[in-house]
Amino acid sequence: MSLQNLLVELFVEELPPKVLHKLGAAFSGVLADQLKAQGLATADAVVTAFASPRRLAAHVTGVLAQAADKAVQQKLMPVAVGLDAAGNATPALLKKLQALGADVSDPAAAVAALKRAPDGKAEALFYDSMVKGASLQAGLQKALDEALAKLPIPKVMQYQLENDCELPGWSSVNFVRPAHSLIALHGSNVVPVKTLGLTAGNSTKGHRFEAKLPTVVVPHADQYDEVLKRDGSVIASFVERRAEIERQLNAAAARVGGGVKPIEDDALLDEVTALVERPNVLTCQFETEFLGVPQECLILTMKANQKYFPLLDASGKLTHQFLVVSNITPDDASFVIGGNERVVRPRLADAKFFFDQDRKKTLESRVEALSKVVYHNKLGTQGERMARVCAIARAIGQQVGGDALAQQAEQAARLAKTDLLTDMVGEFPELQGMMGGYYARHDGLRSDVAEAIEDHYKPRFAGDELPRNNVGLVVALADKLETLVGMFGIGNVPTGDKDPFALRRHALGVIRMLIEKDMTLALPDVLALSAPVFGDKITGGSDVLIDFIYDRLAGSLREQGFSAQEVDAVMALRPARLGQVSQFLSAVRAFAALPESPALAAANKRIGNILKKAGEVDAHVNPALLQEEAEKNLHAVMQKLLPESEAQFQAGDYTASLQTLAALRGPVDAFFDDVMVNAEAMDLRLNRQGLLKSLHVAMNRVADLSRLAS
């Protein structure tokens, strides 16, 4: 059979740039998977994805023109249904065989060709046949339809196609963008598949302005990217185009000199790669007077609105030069450069105007206006929310650092949301918090308060840094707690992948601050002090919220590499101080590695079951009631080891505390071998249960060790 490489390209109008890379990977991936599933592509076939602003393509190695025939065994029916008492075929069996294309002219021979095999409690008849392998045309058609159906398209559009002359009129087509041509080449042979009103050929279009030929003909599947680059002036590979842009950006920065570097932003680089087919990086500049505006504002407007790459000096400070990735390469680039400089100037002027206007009013003067901004219809205005955050921040600050920290945290919390009312944040919501920090410094506020205002949204995303100082830490914690307690209190709980208020992110932020800053606050306590500030606006949700936070913590710990058993053992006790969790986990991991661990974990599980059935048990032992040698020995060893383990626990040496208990293995095993816990005499039974209760409490200070039992 003919084994050659396959190329498929769909040429369309400009695709959504933010999802182009994902579209290219999905198109090629599904196409190749479908070909492999049908036996048309080898299992080790290499798939290469191509994606440019106007095309999605895939190159697949080792594709057959015809898949090999495949032996298939089909279950027909139970023997009791297919054969009569004499073993002859029933009409139902003959009808089924006939439907499958089997020869039933000789029923006895047809029955003899069947196989009998157990199927549950009965026997069934099975029919073996050879299914003809799919042709490339049929298989590729199915694969192409599947690839287009599974594209992660953000929004579909509908457009009209004129029908063939046999069917006059127009037909509607639904796709992300209008499609204009289709290539399907098996080696040099066209595979005549159809989609979106197009029939495959071997030609496409190149660069919209700089293609050397109006129509680019691809003679062979393996020449696609080469011919498109040569005749169409297009770099079809997203990865290659991205690398070329990165190379040109660095080269242009080097030509500027002075150690400047283009800003690092993978999302921007991906988006720009999706906007150009033939990148050409040019250096532009703006007036230095704009550098008086906070550089975050200038960088954001250049990146978000214009897709430019600002240049930063060696210290990370913005310069007055920036890089543009053009889609054309004219002999004289001055018009392109000048055009981009003219376009960016009004943007920067707007930023400067907003900054100047905002500084004419203090943050304090904006506080009253927060009461006119709705936060949530059930939770009131931003003014009410600000008052709640202030109360929580004051309470937390008092616990963490006394009166001074409480006062500073309350002041920062009072002003933290006022920058939402500024022109700059109105234009660029991404700058909220950051602009508040700038305006706080302009108002002459303490640096720690200004930093707290700037940092109170942190961490904004996974891996983001935490607030820089204690004031910021307290305000950020208070802000996230207010959101969590309020939203859970009115029943706004995340479901599935829906989390419109980013409550999962807020919960992880609380977790990170409590753990990474090793705060002495207990999680249940900070949730308890947050609820009263809402008055009658919330009606509950505290139990659901604490479960939610512990679930987020458990998931985060598993992602960090701790085993499910280790995490379950520690989280089963719901540690109040999250700063201790990592130490608990390390102690559990060290204990689990001991040879005594499995036996003690199993014993702990057994003890837990005994105590659960016994109900309320007092952890008290009367030595005079200890009769058996094994229970006396266990009690004696506990008298020696438990105080030592307790002292180590109180000193924070949780690993040593657990390892000290490992010496209990022998006495515990002997106890269960020789002692009847549920003795008939009630005083003996309660005493032995009290002994086990004392042991259970000591063994489960760090974690529920029974969770380590296999």
User: Mean pLDDT of all residues in the chain?
Assistant: 93
Last residue of a domain, one of 358, 387, 416: 358
Residue 99 pLDDT grade (very low, low, confident, very high; cuts 50, 70, 90):
confident
Burial of 510 (0-12, 13-18, 19+ CB in 10 A): buried
- Looking at the fold, whether 328 and 397 belong to one and the same domain comes out as no
Residue 68 pLDDT = 83
CA distance 370 to 421: 8
Cβ atoms within 10 A of the Cβ of 167, count? Answer: 9
Residue 352 pLDDT grade (very low, low, confident, very high; cuts 50, 70, 90):
very high
- Looking at the fold, whether 547 and 613 belong to one and the same domain comes out as no
- Looking at the fold, whether 424 and 546 belong to one and the same domain comes out as yes
Crossing angle, helix 470-489 and helix 382-415, to 10 degrees?
Answer: 170
Last residue of a domain, one of 232, 252, 269: 232
CA distance 329 to 332: 8
Helices (H), 416-495: 423-427, 434-442, 447-455, 470-489
Whole-model pTM: value is 0.81
CA distance 550 to 559: 14
- Looking at the fold, whether 118 and 142 belong to one and the same domain comes out as no
Lowest-pLDDT choice from 36-45, 573-582, 614-623: 614-623
- Looking at the fold, whether 465 and 541 belong to one and the same domain comes out as yes
CA distance 191 to 188: 10
Tally the C-alpha atoms within 13 A of residue 537's C-alpha that lie toward its C-beta: 21
- Looking at the fold, whether 397 and 380 belong to one and the same domain comes out as yes
Examine residue 115 and state whether it is found in any structural domain, yes or no: yes
- Looking at the fold, whether 124 and 206 belong to one and the same domain comes out as no
| Parent domain of 113 | 75-131
Residue 294 pLDDT = 96
- Looking at the fold, whether 57 and 79 belong to one and the same domain comes out as no
The tokens describing 634, both together, are: 């266990």
Output the CA–CA distances (angstroms, integers) from residue 448 to 394, 451, 481, 512, in the order listed.
16, 5, 21, 21
Tokens 């978000």 sit on residue: 304
Last residue of a domain, one of 89, 115, 131: 131
Examine residue 414 and state whether it is found in any structural domain, yes or no: yes
Contact 449, 473 (CB under 8 A): no
Q: What is the mean pLDDT of residues 229-253?
A: 97
pLDDT tens-digit readout, 583-638: 999 999 999 999 999 999 998 899 888 888 888 888 889 999 998 899 999 999 99
Examine residue 661 and state whether it is found in any structural domain, yes or no: yes
Contact 224, 236 (CB under 8 A): yes
Examine residue 570 and state whether it is found in any structural domain, yes or no: no
Examine residue 475 and state whether it is found in any structural domain, yes or no: yes
Residue 651 pLDDT = 93
Residue 172 pLDDT = 83
- The closest of 17, 10, 19, 68 to 39, measured between CA atoms, is 68
CATH number at residue 193: 3.30.70
- Looking at the fold, whether 50 and 102 belong to one and the same domain comes out as no
Examine residue 297 and state whether it is found in any structural domain, yes or no: yes
Residue 134 pLDDT grade (very low, low, confident, very high; cuts 50, 70, 90):
confident
- Looking at the fold, whether 442 and 548 belong to one and the same domain comes out as yes
Examine residue 571 and state whether it is found in any structural domain, yes or no: no
**What percent of the chain has a predicted confidence (pLDDT) above 70?**
99
Query: Does pLDDT of 164 surpass 70?
Result: no
CATH number at residue 619: 1.10.730
Give the type of residue at 570: V
- Looking at the fold, whether 291 and 343 belong to one and the same domain comes out as yes
- C-alpha R_g of the chain: 36
Query: Does pLDDT of 103 surpass 90?
Result: no
CA distance 265 to 164: 48
Examine residue 569 and state whether it is found in any structural domain, yes or no: no
The total number of structural domains that make up the chain: 5
Bridge partners (DSSP) of residue 312 are 261, 318
- Looking at the fold, whether 338 and 287 belong to one and the same domain comes out as yes
DSSP 8-state class, residue 538: -
Output the CA–CA distances (angstroms, integers) from residue 477 to 239, 387, 455, 467, 509, in the order listed.
41, 15, 11, 10, 8
